[in-house]
Structure 1
Amino acid sequence: MTKFARQQWFLLALGATLVGGALFYQPLRPVTEAIPQHPLLAVILWLMSAPLDLRRSLSGRHAVAATGIAVAVNTLAAGPLAWVMGRALIEPLAIGLVLAALSPCTMASAAVWTRRGGGNDAIALMVTVVTSLLSVVSLPGWAWLLIGKGQNVEVDAVELAGKMLVYVVLPIGLAQAMRGWSPCRLWCDRHRHQLSLTAQLGLLLMVLIGAVRCGELLAGTDSTLRLVDWGLLIVITAVVHVVLFALAWYGTRAIGAPRADMLAAAVSGSQKTLAVGLSVAMEFGPLAILPMIVYHTLQLLIDAVLVEKLGVKRAK
């Protein structure tokens, strides 16, 4: 039992954080509201980037192509897939599922999950940057096509792009610039494990912030769903995520990419960020936010298992 807890500590901590944050959102809310979320994100991405030589990691024969496949799956395939699968749901949930699928790649957990599986986390970081910047156009555009209410989807393109540049692109660029100084590069390389561990702890803190917010939103949802609606939502959301994961996985395998690139593309091609998805879904009513919450929770739990089973370390 001690060995299992030591090996799976992150998965156990993740489950406890998700459940505890949602259940005890009231006492935890003052704590999480005091945490500056965007600066925390910037620190996590710096911690992930500092031990990486992005140019070298992306210079592989298949790395750029794998990045492109993951971006295509995340930006082009996710929305239509969710629209088709959502036909089995009641309308508010169907709309919410589409909006969740249209969100860009999550800003930290994709890189953390990729690294845990021994994948090429440089690809995950680049997919995060590219899909986040593309979302200022792709999210309202796809929403207009798929749910016919694009005119009601308010996405401040300038504000969103500015946040992505400051809190996503800048910390990654700063980390790479610092690696140009040999003492800093050597220090980062020597402390790669400690930096990665700190990034994982930071991610758990971000998950706690999201879980508390989800618990608060769920408590404020006055509409009750039938058990069958909940069951369909969970099953369909899981299927959407797994299909996106498989599309990126087999798409990169088809071009002969190494397993490290396949894993990175699959994780980053299928994960979605809670922050953007919730902010847009809230414009469509309380039920529309539920698919984003369910997607966020399932992607963390499902990918924890998939990374453990399909990771590079397990394959050796």
Structure 2
Amino acid sequence: MPRWSDVPVLRRVEPFVLAVLTAIAVAALLPAGGAVATGLGWGTTVGVGFLFFVYGARTAPAEALRGLRDWRLQGSIALATYVLFPLLGLLLVAATGRFLDGGLVAGLLFLAVLPSTVQSCVVFTAAAGGNVPGAVVGATASNLAGIGLTPLLAALLLGSAGAGPDAGSVGRIVLQLLVPFLAGLAAGARIGDRVRRHRRPLAFLDRCVIVAVVYSAFSLGVRRGVWQQVRPAEVAVVLVCAALLLAAVLAVAWWAPRLWGACRADRVTVLFCGSNKSLATGLPMATVLFDPHVVGLVALPVVLYHPLQITVCSFLAGRMSPGRS
């Protein structure tokens, strides 16, 4: 098992977080407009479709199915991701929603229904001495389930309020997310090994597409004057809500598995896989699920939660490392 000093999580993640924050700052000062905005919109649409094709191509269904045999571990991760998180999100929105713009409320609930990350969860689990195969399967299964569950839960939680996905979202999900993903899954037998061998350049392309999505979404918000409606106090409330969500889920994810007699390694796995939310999946999904004029606001809670979870989970993984002196 790797020592924490051998797993430079922060060094790998920080450039990406910085790039996302830079994209927001550039959009605030120099928002894309006219032909640039149109070209960027088409480019991000194609890029998001390509991302989900790659997600499908690099998925190994047989390996994932073998790992699903540990139903208590995988069930705990799924419950934390798709039941505990949404319930806590609803409670927070009930307590703070009257202080927030509707787009930010939608963003908090959207954050709560996102799937888990994969890479970060596995790295944190390995560093803390957890069940690494269980983390790989759990995080992968979370992302696979999220293709269908995230839009469904978003529609259930947000549809009645008029801020959630509209009727046309179903078609957009099928065409832009599900079809490329299934195509990649079908092509995985032929190109899966090559995709996994070229993980690093594809990961770089993945990040570039996400940064472009952030810039496009926030540019549109600036051009339409959306951000003039958001007060600094609202951003502070969203940040506090994100911190409370993370703290509550971490506490429950660590202690609840004791009810079924989970060993320490499995508790570590649930802790990280159940508390992390995927920025890489969430932002592309937001562009498909929500109307363009609210995407920037919806994305803000996700953007704020990501560096928070990385910082806190990096600290916890370092403290829990079996090799820590």
TM-score by length of 2: 0.70
Q: Which moved more, 1:26-35 or 1:233-242?
A: 26-35
Does residue 166 (structure 1) correspond to residue 176 (structure 2)? The answer is no
Is contact 2:114–2:278 with CA below 8 Å preserved after alignment? no
How far off is 1:273 after superposition? 1.3
Alignment of 1:234-253 (within 5 A): 234-252=239-257
- 1:131 is paired with a residue of what secondary structure? helix
How far off is 1:85 after superposition? 3.8
Distance 2:224 2:273 in 1: 35
1:20 alignment counterpart: 22
1:231 alignment counterpart: 236
Gaps of 5+ in 1: none
1:125 alignment counterpart: 140
1:92 alignment counterpart: 102
How far off is 1:144 after superposition? 4.3
- 1:8 is paired with a residue of what secondary structure? helix
1:113 alignment counterpart: 120
**Aligned match of 2:49 in 22, 38, 41?**
38
1:157 alignment counterpart: 170
2:72 alignment counterpart: 62
Is contact 2:118–2:140 with CA below 8 Å preserved after alignment? yes
- 1:59 is paired with a residue of what secondary structure? coil
Distance 1:72 1:226 in 2: 30
The alpha-carbon distance between structure 1 residues 53 and 131, as it changes in their structure 2 partners (threshold 3 A), is same
- 2:208 is paired with a residue of what secondary structure? helix
- Tell me the amino acid that sits aligned with residue 210 of structure 1: V
Is contact 1:153–1:280 with CA below 8 Å preserved after alignment? yes
1:302 alignment counterpart: 308
Distance 1:91 1:300 in 2: 21
How far off is 1:123 after superposition? 1.1
The alpha-carbon distance between structure 1 residues 170 and 265, as it changes in their structure 2 partners (threshold 3 A), is farther
- 1:273 is paired with a residue of what secondary structure? helix
1:282 alignment counterpart: 291
Does residue 77 (structure 1) correspond to residue 90 (structure 2)? The answer is no
TM-score by length of 1: 0.71
How far off is 1:216 after superposition? 0.8
1:107-158, Cα deviation, whole Å (9 max, x unpaired): xxx112223323512211211222331344432222245x3x3798435335
Distance 2:236 2:78 in 1: 34
Is contact 2:9–2:123 with CA below 8 Å preserved after alignment? no
Distance 2:111 2:9 in 1: 32
Gaps of 5+ in 2: 127-131
Distance 1:279 1:23 in 2: 23
Is contact 2:173–2:288 with CA below 8 Å preserved after alignment? no
Q: Which moved more, 1:249-258 or 1:226-235?
A: 249-258
1:206 alignment counterpart: 209
The alpha-carbon distance between structure 1 residues 86 and 132, as it changes in their structure 2 partners (threshold 3 A), is farther
Distance 1:240 1:75 in 2: 7
Count the aligned residue pairs. 295
How far off is 1:14 after superposition? 1.3
Is contact 1:137–1:157 with CA below 8 Å preserved after alignment? no
1:197-237, Cα deviation, whole Å (9 max, x unpaired): 44542442233123212431342242343332332233224
Distance 2:40 2:97 in 1: 39
Alignment of 1:260-275 (within 5 A): 260-268=269-277, 273-275=282-284
How far off is 1:164 after superposition? 4.2
Is contact 1:121–1:264 with CA below 8 Å preserved after alignment? no
Distance 2:279 2:299 in 1: 15
Percent identity, aligned pairs only, is 9
Is contact 1:75–1:138 with CA below 8 Å preserved after alignment? no
Q: Which moved more, 1:294-303 or 1:150-159?
A: 150-159
Distance 2:102 2:18 in 1: 29
2:129 alignment counterpart: none
Distance 2:252 2:270 in 1: 14
1:10 alignment counterpart: 12
Is contact 1:93–1:291 with CA below 8 Å preserved after alignment? yes
How far off is 1:252 after superposition? 4.1
